[in-house]
């Protein structure tokens, strides 16, 4: 009987600890969500944690965005380049990946990582998602991973994506619930639909999802 009571006590203690940690996570998540701050370049290493692959595996995620040889791809908010190196490989020597980040510090970190990886198709660009430094209809693919929620004026960002994307091109998003700036699926779909993007695919995963859209017009 004593052994049973001890086991029950330990079980309840364990559940209590899990509940307390979960409550702490939710409080921090909500506080940071209200703040809506850009992920700082000083913490860039946190975005390269190998455990991230369990939630956002690099190659499968990019394959859902339909990157291919020769594409001109736009990656908005690449940070230190968790996806950029593989994206460079997927578009090949005849393609290019424009890695646009708001922070010069992030672009500098990314530039060094691309140089070390010899990912020559990828190019860091410092710029604002609501004022893309690109010509109209110049992009075959665009993707944002856990980024759109950080943009204060999200409709302006989607409007800019619509402007620079070719007719029939592909726009992809990936979101993870652990991100305080998480975009809920219905809100994202409604926002993209407002600018004429057609939903092609929605895939739910562990604590997140990917969604792909087609820009208006024939490919």
Same structural domain for residues 12 and 81? no
| Average pLDDT along the chain, 219 residues, taken 10 residues at a time | 52 48 32 59 88 89 97 97 97 98 96 97 97 98 97 97 98 95 97 98 93 93
Same structural domain for residues 87 and 154? yes
In this structure, is residue 41 part of a structural domain? no
Q: For position 23, what pLDDT does the model report?
A: 34
In this structure, is residue 48 part of a structural domain? no
In this structure, is residue 219 part of a structural domain? no
Same structural domain for residues 102 and 145? yes
Same structural domain for residues 61 and 17? no
> How many Å apart are CA 89 and CA 44, to the nearest integer?
22
> How many Å apart are CA 47 and CA 88, to the nearest integer?
18
In this structure, is residue 153 part of a structural domain? yes
Same structural domain for residues 22 and 60? no
Same structural domain for residues 151 and 79? yes
In this structure, is residue 202 part of a structural domain? yes
What is residue 75's three-state secondary structure?
A: strand
- The answer to whether residues 83 and 75 touch, using CB atoms and an 8 Å cutoff, is yes
Same structural domain for residues 91 and 187? yes
In this structure, is residue 210 part of a structural domain? yes
In this structure, is residue 126 part of a structural domain? yes
Same structural domain for residues 137 and 210? yes
Q: Which residue range forms the structural domain that includes residue 27?
A: 1-35
In this structure, is residue 42 part of a structural domain? no
- List, for residues 63-122, the tens digit of each pLDDT value: 999 999 999 999 999 999 999 999 999 999 999 999 999 999 999 999 999 999 999 999
Same structural domain for residues 22 and 118? no
H helical segments located in 36-97: 58-64, 84-91
Same structural domain for residues 67 and 15? no
Report the CATH number at residue 73.
3.40.50.150
Same structural domain for residues 88 and 28? no
Q: In what order do the strands lie in the sheet with 122-126?
A: 122-126, 96-101, 72-76, 139-145, 165-176, 208-214, 198-205
Same structural domain for residues 161 and 72? yes
For the entire predicted model, the pTM comes to: 0.82
In the chain, the number of structural domains is 2
């Amino acid at each position: 009987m004593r052994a049973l009571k001890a086991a029950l006590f330990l079980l309840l203690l364990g559940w209590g600890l899990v509940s307390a940690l979960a409550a702490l996570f939710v409080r921090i998540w909500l506080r940071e969500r209200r703040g809506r701050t850009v992920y700082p370049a000083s913490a860039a290493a946190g975005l390269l944690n190998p455990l991230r692959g369990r939630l956002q595996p690099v190659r499968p995620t990019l394959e859902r965005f339909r990157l291919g040889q020769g594409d001109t791809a736009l990656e908005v908010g690449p940070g230190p380049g968790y996806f950029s190196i593989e994206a460079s490989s997927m578009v090949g020597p005849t393609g290019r990946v424009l890695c646009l980040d708001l922070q010069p510090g992030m672009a500098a970190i990314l530039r060094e990582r691309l140089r070390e990886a010899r990912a020559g198709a990828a190019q860091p660009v410092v710029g604002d998602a609501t004022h893309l430094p690109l010509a109209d209809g110049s992009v075959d693919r665009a993707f944002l991973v856990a980024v759109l929620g950080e943009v204060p004026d999200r409709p302006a960002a989607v409007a800019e994506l619509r402007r620079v994307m070719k007719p029939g091109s592909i726009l992809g998003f990936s979101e993870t619930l652990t991100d305080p700036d998480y975009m809920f699926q219905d809100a994202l779909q409604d926002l993209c639909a407002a600018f004429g993007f057609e939903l092609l695919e929605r895939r739910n995963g562990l604590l997140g999802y990917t969604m792909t859209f087609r820009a208006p017009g024939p490919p």
